[in-house]
Chains A and B, each alone.
Chain A
Amino acid sequence: MQLFTRDRTHTSHAHTAHTSCSLARLRIAAFKRIAISSSGFLAICFVATCVLAAPPQFSQVIKGKPITFPRDFGAHPDFRTEWWYVTGWLETPDNKPLGFQITFFRSATEHDRDNPSRFAPSQLIIAHAALTDPAAGKLLHDQKSARSGLGLAYAKEGNTDVKLDGWRMLREEDGRYQTSINANDFTLRFSLTPTQKPMLQGEDGFSRKGPRPEQASYYYSQPQLKVSGSVIRNNKETAVSGIAWLDHEWSTEILDPDADGWDWIGINLDDGSALVAFQIRGRDGTKVWAYAGLRDAHGRFTQFTPEQVKFEPQRMWRSPRTDAEYPVAMRIQTGSTVWVLTPLLDDQELDSRHSIGAVYWEGAVTVTRDGKPAGRGYFEMTGYVKPLRL
């Protein structure tokens, strides 16, 4: 599959985009692309699409519209794309580290909204889960997709309540998230307890993703989530505890047409602070947009402009499967502060070309701040796979 993953949600851009579409209104990204690979699974990623029939009108992300809780914990079906993205570090009783990722995507299709069928695929639910175990030396991952409906899969409005068959994420009354994932090779059952208020990114949750104002999303994070629960592998249950990060983001149009991929990091710092930094890369690897937000333990929030945020690769790792070269060790500068990321494991690439069709690197990293150990985070890199040339 000739795909370039494009943003942190595995967005990719189909190079066959219609000129009519790309000229007038660029709607790259924020759209699930569903394709079928040769092995018989669904391939899902984001793509530019042009539909002749009058498509449903999606809401746009507007600056100044405040984020309201608890309503905005729930789904926003009027926007094209939405995700709840949990990443974190775990520790087993024998002090071995593990990394995990649980993501639920909601994607609105252009299926006619007049179709009264309960099977009408107007909203799709897609979920990814991954477990990094340095002892195993690689990433275990699984994914699922379904149309929303009939109580089997949904993303409810009003509160975080997402379900896809046996995979589930629910925010309880007290703010605690319960999540349960029965993947092929592992089962995750976590309770995630917030220790801080939600962290609104950008301008009170209005997060720009490119030079143009409409290239934006609504975005808040739940950093410093306390994890307790269990991991089941090979019918063996291990109690775990740790720290996690949740991102909830929704939008209709995000990416700049020149964007080719992105690097993102969310760090739970040991002193209770939280850092988000990302850069959107252009075709030639240049920075199209960048952002960083640092909130200290007292809730003071510092935002950095694109010019103040710099990503500098320190060490490259080449994937033996995809031949993609990832800067697994990254130096990030926010203002005068220097952060260096070291991966828990080099090989944290999710190669799902034969299943979902997307390839990205998503992994646990340790972080130093100005040379001193400062915390642990999750680092995501997309858009590093070059199309196969036959």
Chain B
Amino acid sequence: MTTRTHGGTLSRWLFLGEWRAHRIQAGTAIVAIALGVALGFAIHLINTAAFNEFSAAARSLSGQADLQVRGPQPTFDESLYPMLAQHTNVELANPVLELDVALPGNSGERKNSTLKILGLDIFRASDMAPDLIGIPAEDKLLDILADDAIFLSPAAMEWLGVKQGDPLQLRVGTQTITLRIAGGLRRARAGQRIGIMDIGAAQWHFHHLGQLSRIELKLVPGIDRAVFTAALGQELELRGQYLVTDTADQEARIANMSRAYRVNLNMLAMVALFTGAFLVFSTQALSVVRRRHQFALLRVLGLTRRQLLKQILFEGAALGSIGSLAGLVLGYLIAATALYYFGGDLGGGFFPGVRPSVHFDPSTTIVFFILGLGITLLGSAAPALEAASATPAPALKSGSEDAAFSKLATPWPAVVCLGAGGMLSQLPPVFDLPVFGYLAVALLLIGGIALMPRLSALVFSAILDAVTRRGHGAMPTLALARLANAPNQASVALGGVLASFTLVVAMAIMVASFRVSVDEWLKHILPADLYVRTAASGDTRGLRPDETKALAATPGIARADFFRSSQLVLDPSRPNVALIARPIDMADPGNTLPMTGDAIDADLLREDATPIWVSEAMVDLYAYTPGRRVTLPVAIPPPDFVVAGVWRDYGRQFGAIQMRLADYQALSGDQKVNDAALWLEAGVTPEEAIASLKRLPFGEALEFSEPAQIRALSLSIFDRSFAVTYLLEGVAIIIGLLGVAASFSAQALARGKEFGMLRHIGVTRRQILGMLAAEGGLLTTLGIVLGFALGWCISLILVFVVNPQSFHWTMRLSLPWSALLSVAAALLLSAALTALASGRHTVSSDVIRSVREDW
């Protein structure tokens, strides 16, 4: 009992003593861990909240349905409905027409937006999805069946700035229709923007007569869902292609839609945590070195290795616990604030129209706590083991500090890490996720940092040799000699800089490559002078054949290409595939599409199959390789197609298919088009063309955009979606700089004796500070050079492995030199200044006392 108490006292005394003396170092380590944990936790909370709310909102639209039947295209013929409604095993069939309808508003926010409108049969929906029932005014109860009434969720009313009784204008093709807002909904989720109206009125007003989006089924109690699903699937095969899905399929679909994005974001958060862990390692390592004598003395006095090990790990655990707890609190606050002010969408655009709120989940909270603590313990483990295994006698001697790190200088583990990283980068994705790619990045990072001491010794020895031979001044020689001969401490100090700069370089190269590729792609896909559409998006936009004729015949228009875009479901558990029909130059599809070079020769295309060109995602997700024969459900029975080539698509990560408009119209019978690309006659300005197009009978309904505007808008969307990445890069740099500050001040303190000695032999304070700045500058330069090399390697993995595997698109590598150089310069300057600032304190202390410490 007594021993234990004494042990406890000693432990506490050592711990508190160390902390009191080095508040800044301990504080920095805690802050780093806290920031890492906070970011990871916040991103996780936001993503989870957004995802859950989004799925809940999606789920709420289908009420208590057991199964859903839908077609491969957005809508299908309603004749399926009576058949399902009278099916023996079906208790209730609920027909739904769900459309995103464009709003014609001109007010900034509403422009380019759509309102989700569900056309429902109240008599069926009131049992299936009772929440989605409109509440009419007391004296207008029949509004629920009225041909001109719509019911809006509170969020939709707020968003549109309307109330019960107001008119609501909607854009259908080139026409604007006006509905009457007849009331609110029974219950809608917070933030959910939806409108409900009678299904018959919706079919009529939105030109979807005879069409349904889906039929929801409630089965007779006791019917086996799986058996029924399979049987119904077979039954429906005779009528065309239909998909029978249940709630789990829809969840999977939503999860698939945003998974790559969420995982990548979480990886970025891990980067911050990783940098934090490295900082703990350097703090602990330096702290152990500094107290080498202290520990040796304690060992001599009878403290066992085990006790010492426990002591150092305990210190690490204390840092980790405090940091993690602070991080959890901070992360929760960040998540709550971000969700409150910006909603759940972190720039990815995957969770529109929901307002999630942060949800406290004990199990994930514990996971993140353990993650923060575990990483701190990992960072403390190496120094702790080293300190515990040191033989007390040599350790008591002065000047043995660098030897403490000698184990770290073994290059082999680092080489193994690098090699393994290189090999892992070649492996295929797991569950559509670049798991091995991320592992490779982590291994390269660890290997690179571990190799740092060796490299810095080599480099600085070489420079020292050169400098000594030429006989430069004493101070540079001193600085270099220190770096060349005691490389381990220095490298530990620099690990943080290396880690953060490597990641910054890697991310910057990746984002720049992506941005440059997108920019070039935009130039390629926007060859026309003017683009025309009736609304930016939505299911009701489009031009009729007579309108396209009028458009093409407008004076000043040299050529008009029309586009029909729609959606196909090829796999119920995956998000929709985009289908784009437009004129394509058969002789050289590269004139129309940004081809990747993967294509079969046009001469080889046989007459009996229609050619399609697919995006890279189609190759990855559906194995649509050039030359393959496929069927697509654009008509019943589904016609045959041959994959003629692969094109690059940065717009749709879930796949897109292009075919010739003439082929599409002949096969599907669908004569509607959505958009037009116009080439102007020489001498006609876009303004003149717009003016004459506006004079068309439907001219007021047209929206015009020039390629430059679309490009600018697309790039601004791009930048917004990478906003979180930029933020995380910033955090990584700050953590890196904190590391520099912590390790330099620790070193400067540890080297008090050395500085005292130097002062005694006549070196001025100024010279010592100069030496410190030089050391800092040189080390940081090396860190930056190495960081750049390592970052470049990692960026290759990000660009050529992680991105294609996550998002299914390839890109060209481009290096953002100016951005990288300015970050490097800023880092160099701040590192040198930090080194100087931390040295100033030590150098100003009493010279006599400093030397006396050297016993």
Contact = CB atoms under 8 A, between A and B. Distances in A.
Interface of A: 14, 16-18, 31-36, 40-42, 47, 49-51, 53, 109-112, 115-121, 124, 145-147, 150-152, 165
A118 B204 CA distance: 10
B142 A118 contact: no
B266 interface: no
Interface stretch (B145-153, B228-236, B733-741): B145-153
Interface in B141-167: 141-142, 144-148
5 contacts: A42-B123, A51-B146, A112-B147, A119-B121, A150-B78
A17 B209 CA distance: 35
Contacts of A150: 78, 81-82, 85
B657 to A, nearest CB: 31
Nearest to A49: B142
B209 A18 contact: no
A146 B95 CA distance: 13
A118 B138 contact: no
A41 B122 CA distance: 10
B322 interface: no
Interface centre among B85, B133, B145 (most CB of A within 10 A): B145
Given A34-B144, A121-B198, 11 more contacts: A32-B142, A34-B145, A36-B144, A40-B127, A40-B133, A47-B141, A53-B147, A111-B147, A115-B204, A118-B78, A147-B145
A119 B203 contact: yes
Contacts of A41: 126-127
Contacts of A109: 142, 145
Report, nearest first, the 6 A-B pairs whose CB atoms are least far apart. Answer: A119-B200, A40-B130, A120-B200, A117-B200, A112-B147, A117-B203
B135 to A, nearest CB: 7
Contacts of A14: 138-139, 141
B288 interface: no
Contact of A34 (B122, B127, B186): B122
B591 interface: no
Contacts of B86: 152
Contacts of A112: 147-148
Contacts of A32: 142
A145 B123 contact: yes
Contacts of B78: 118-119, 150
Given A47-B141, A115-B147, A40 B126 contact: yes
Interface in B201-244: 201, 203-204, 209-210
B133 A119 contact: no
Range class of the B interface residue count: 35 or more
Contact of B126 (A36, A110, A118): A36
Interface in B53-91: 78, 81-82, 85-86
Nearest to B79: A150
A16 B200 contact: no
Contacts of A146: 121, 123-124
B199 interface: yes
A299 to B, nearest CB: 42
Contacts of B140: 49
Interface of A: prevailing SS: loop
B200 A121 contact: yes
B147 A34 contact: no
A41 B147 CA distance: 21
Contacts of B85: 150, 152, 165
Contacts of A49: 140-142
B126 A42 contact: yes
Contacts of A16: 138-139
B210 A118 contact: yes
Nearest to B134: A36
A309 B138 CA distance: 37
A110 B142 contact: yes
Nearest to B120: A119
Of A36, A112, A165, most buried by chain B (CB within 10 Å of CB) is A36
Contacts of B199: 117, 119
A284 B85 CA distance: 47
Given A47-B141, A150-B82, A119 B126 contact: no
A117 B145 CA distance: 13
Nearest to B123: A146
A73 B644 CA distance: 64
A149 to B, nearest CB: 8
B142 A117 contact: no
Nearest to B136: A35
In this complex, the member of A49, A110, A150, A165 whose beta carbon has the largest number of chain B beta carbons within 10 angstroms is A150
Contacts of B209: 116-117
Nearest to A113: B147
Nearest to A153: B123
Nearest to B95: A119
Contacts of B121: 119, 146-147
Contacts of A110: 142, 146
Contact of B204 (A47, A116, A124, A165): A116
A147 B200 contact: yes
Given A14-B139, A36-B186, A40-B130, A152 B82 contact: yes
A147 B198 CA distance: 11
Contacts of B126: 36, 40-42
A119 B210 CA distance: 9
B123 A33 contact: no
Contacts of B123: 42, 145-147
A121 B186 CA distance: 21
Contacts of A50: 139
Q: Which of B81, B124, B130, B204 gathers most chain A CB within 10 Å?
A: B204
Contacts of B81: 150
A144 to B, nearest CB: 8
B142 A33 contact: yes
A78 B846 CA distance: 109
A18 B139 contact: yes
A17 B204 contact: no
A51 B186 CA distance: 23
B166 to A, nearest CB: 15
A32 B141 CA distance: 10
Contacts of A152: 82, 85-86
Given A115-B204, A165-B85, A42 B145 contact: no
Contacts of B201: 111, 115, 117, 120
A49 B133 CA distance: 20
B210 to A, nearest CB: 7
A14 to B, nearest CB: 7
A117 B204 contact: yes
Given A42-B122, A47-B141, A145-B123, A115 B200 contact: yes
Interface string B174-213: 0000000000001000000000001111011000011000
B130 A121 contact: no
Nearest to B139: A16
B221 to A, nearest CB: 12
A120 B197 CA distance: 12
A53 B148 contact: yes
A150 B138 CA distance: 30
A41 B128 CA distance: 10
A14 B137 CA distance: 12
A17 B186 contact: no
Contacts of B186: 36
Contacts of B95: 119
Interface in B108-125: 119, 121-124
A42 B145 CA distance: 12
A47 B140 CA distance: 10
B131 to A, nearest CB: 9
Contact of A36 (B82, B119, B133, B139): B133
Given A116-B204, A117-B204, A147-B200, A111 B146 contact: yes
A315 to B, nearest CB: 36
* Centre residue among B95, B123, B198, B210 by max chain A CB count within 10 A: B123
A228 B178 CA distance: 55
Contacts of A147: 121, 123, 145, 200
Contacts of A165: 85
